[in-house]
Amino acid sequence: MGCLFSKKSRRKSPKKDSALPAGDESATGNDLPETNNTALGSNSNQEAPKQYSWDKREKVDPKDFMLTGLKNETVGRLPGKLNGQQFVIQDCENCNIYVFDHSATITIDDCVNCRIILGPVKGSVFFRDCKDIKCVVACQQFRTRDCKKIDVFLCCATQPIIESSTGMKFGCYQYYYPELAFHFKDAGLSIFNNNWSNIHDFTPVSGETNWSLLPEDAVVLEYMPLPDPESEFKSVRISAEANRSIVPLTKGGRRTESEESCLFVFFAGDYTTANARKLIDETTTKGFVLIQTKEVSMRPEDVNRVFQNNAESLTEWITKGPVVALELNGDGVVEACRSIANEVFNGTKLFVSESKNTSSRDVDNFFNFADMQMGL
């Protein structure tokens, strides 16, 4: 638990003045050299002890950042209770656990038959020796070790890793509560960087599959119940509907039904996120499928490599911040995206594949670059 459980250092008390006789309380400043008069003067003349930053910190009770040894309970933390601290869940059985706040790291050990919702985690979420778990997780890094039968709706900025684990099933993150967008920002996570289906198995077994994807139509509420109306979490307005999810619902590594994809890129601006959401709504309403998204910074040489013939007109736009890219799939998607760009986003800084003959190359160029940039 790092700093939460470290012992405070004890400052040594000042040594007694050797000039004072032991046990002699009658000695006064007049009996001592003149230079000691100030030091031994009244309390009103003494300087206050120096205050350090760690002296002013609010005292933290480690128990506020742990859930341990619980059974058949609905527990967790409301928004504002963790504020980026580390958190531990251990030895829980048949519990519904709701953590509606952002945190630094979370470890879940020796839990059985639990339903767990975790707010955005700046670092890692690590499941160890757990089984029969259903969870919703957003984090920088996701890991499991010695686990069995975990179903997870995941948003992970890096490649999820499983080790000595079996029966693992993954789906795309789908969740909403009012503070969630701010918690993503506080945790330093982008809603567009989600590698939920790109699993790395450290301990593969020949002829066996340790992980798979949840059904494409999987619904969070079929796995994770809403908090009990009588619980302390009744005030949190929750939605698990895909169209309200903070994180866009992507197809990920599932097989696409069409060979035609389109690359749509928004360059940094005041409404980049809102524009990306608007595009998703416009295209999915028309029956197209969102495959993947990425938010990444680019340099001039990256623009030349990725956009090639269109690079010259795009280079100046990357100086404002990271770009948001989306891959959309379906027959006729390129023509539809170009039409949406003209009708809905006229005047917005963006790139859209010019034709279906070049769109696959556009998609490969951008997302290969993004994966390399992010170390995937």
Q: Which amino acid is at 170?
A: F
Using alpha carbons only, give the angle 215, 221, 227 rounded to the nearest 5 degrees: 155
Sequence ranges of the binding site: 123-124, 140-143
Question: 56 in helix, strand or coil?
Answer: coil
**CA gap 295, 325 in Å, rounded:** 6
Which helix H or strand E contains 333, and what residues bound it? helix 333-343
Neighbours of 193 (CB within 10 A): 22
- Whole-angstrom CA distances from 41 to 21, 25, 26, 37, 115 are 18, 15, 14, 6, 64
As given in the structure block, the two tokens for residue 352 are 């859209």
Torsion of CA 92, 94, 99, 103, to 10 degrees: 30
**CA gap 88, 60 in Å, rounded:** 15
Nearest to 9 by CA among 48, 54, 49: 54
**CA gap 242, 176 in Å, rounded:** 9
**CA gap 202, 145 in Å, rounded:** 10
Sequence ranges of the binding site for GTP: 123-124, 140-143
**CA gap 288, 290 in Å, rounded:** 7
What single-letter DSSP state applies at residue 233? T
- Whole-angstrom CA distances from 133 to 78, 167, 170, 239, 249 are 21, 11, 12, 20, 22
In the chain, count of helices (H) and strands (E)?
A: 6, 17
**CA gap 16, 267 in Å, rounded:** 68
Extended strands (E) in 22-100: 66-68, 74-77, 87-90, 96-99
Cβ atoms of 187 and 120 within 8 Å: the answer is yes
